[in-house]
A and B are shown apart, each in its own frame.
Chain A
């Protein structure tokens, strides 16, 4: 692979673009004209865990960019459909890789064209300081697995490319077991934390009294497991065991959705619980408790918006 296009240059897209530009030709598809112009004129600065300046080619339409081997679709979850619609009819030989939270982004892209697809979930994070400056904060991995028309070897090729650029990545023969374990874990722990104000601590694993939070956590996870089973996915790690282990470590994790609520920001509940509920509806699996959590979080957001 020698040409990569990053479609959508928020934090994650910018981190990919900056790093990959050190090893391959990188183009960037942006939403705003001035963003593309700034990238063409000034390049992209990466700071934080690495410090360098990258050269990229940017435009707001795919027709203005060279045909890539790989497209990393890095727009926000809610914008994937629009972005894929824009790519429709272009670059039939390229592999498209989605990196959104939750699940189902690759299926949205699939509706817009016959490209070969990879699916991934990324745990890296950063801060976007400007259109041309991104700070690399958390150097956690991106997990990559095959989706429509691709093989584990394709996933490994892309993972190796990403690793060679200075980011962390790991290829899976089948990403879904890991992705679904993570999704069920996140949809439960994040929403419970955001609504109660509790960091992830032993309350989440307590089941002795009828009002203990662990019972709700387990019920939410059981709903999620039923959706995974209906989707034909055998889970990787058991989300309940992940929960119990995490609460025993003595480090009370501050879930990002609670962080968002404390800062009165809009949360990622649409990408996380929203995608689980959408998948449950598609498969006809009842998830009343996740629906309740989703509605409560959306209402909580509305209380300060």
Chain B
């Protein structure tokens, strides 16, 4: 089996390095960061932290070098999906492409270039420490299922899930993968921008009752949009929010969006709150709080270039 990870940042690296430990899987990585690619080709791709793994991965910045693959795993930041998949789609003409990105709308973008698409949601997280070395912060499950408008066959999805699980990334193949995806999107959209706008860590957001109630309003709007589409959440995002607030879990965690804001990088808000607003509009569900948060974060991004 040949797999190519498209976007070998923290999450992409977790998949690439773990899959590369398997004898029967050949792993490629496409990434724009030259230093990271060179380090991977020189020393292998190394994970430290929650798991110590070094995987033999063929990395490249040149999409023309990619051979035909059975599977693609797209793990770029959501705003980079379109150019990344446009550049690499030729490698997947006979294969299936999964996205394990944050937010909603990525499958739709992938499907403009690929015929067989897998809707994925993953909870493991980490960060790049230096080129070729990734800190594995949190272990977690991954769910894969067919993207309804351009579905990959279920047996292929099971083949990929099985490989990920054997490689050390527990993964389940399901017929409807929207439940876990919306649970994660609602979790992220209700908490990440609150951290970004206030500067508070996840735990500190949750211990302010009025602010926690605002988080719940965002959760409720998200749930209503999911329900209007007939999506059954696999569990309540509120549980995940409270669980993550525990001191031993992620109390001190700065949401990735807060990290983006502090570094003045474009955030994924368009695919989180923006995605919920857009799906709400399509299904006739009002989402005024998500619209407000979306506008505030976009305003914040705009302030970095205000003269």
Contacts and interface: CB of A to CB of B under 8 A. Distances in A.
**Most B-side CB within 10 Å, residue of A199, A211, A213:** A211
A184 B281 CA distance: 28
Given A196-B303, A211-B298, A216-B291, A295 B199 contact: no
Q: Per DSSP, are chain A's interface residues mostly helix, strand or loop, or mixed?
A: helix
A212 interface: yes
A289 B293 CA distance: 10
Contacts of B302: 196, 198, 203, 213
A201 interface: yes
Contact of B292 (A199, A252, A292, A304): A292
A192 interface: yes
A111 B200 CA distance: 39
Interface stretch (B47-55, B142-150, B204-212, B227-235): B204-212
Choose among B204, B270, B299 the residue with the greatest number of A CB atoms under 10 Å from its CB: B299
B299 A295 contact: no
B274 A288 contact: no
B223 to A, nearest CB: 16
B129 interface: no
B244 interface: no
B214 A295 contact: yes
A216 B295 contact: yes
Given A292-B214, A295-B211, A302-B208, A196 B296 contact: yes
A299 B213 CA distance: 13
Interface in A190-211: 192, 195-199, 201, 203, 210-211
B299 A198 contact: yes
Interface string A48-63: 0000000000000000
A304 to B, nearest CB: 8
Interface of A: 192, 195-199, 201, 203, 210-213, 215-216, 219, 252, 288-289, 291-292, 295-296, 298-300, 302-304
Q: Sorted from nearest, which 5 A-B pairs have the closest CB atoms?
A: A196-B299, A197-B303, A303-B199, A299-B198, A216-B295
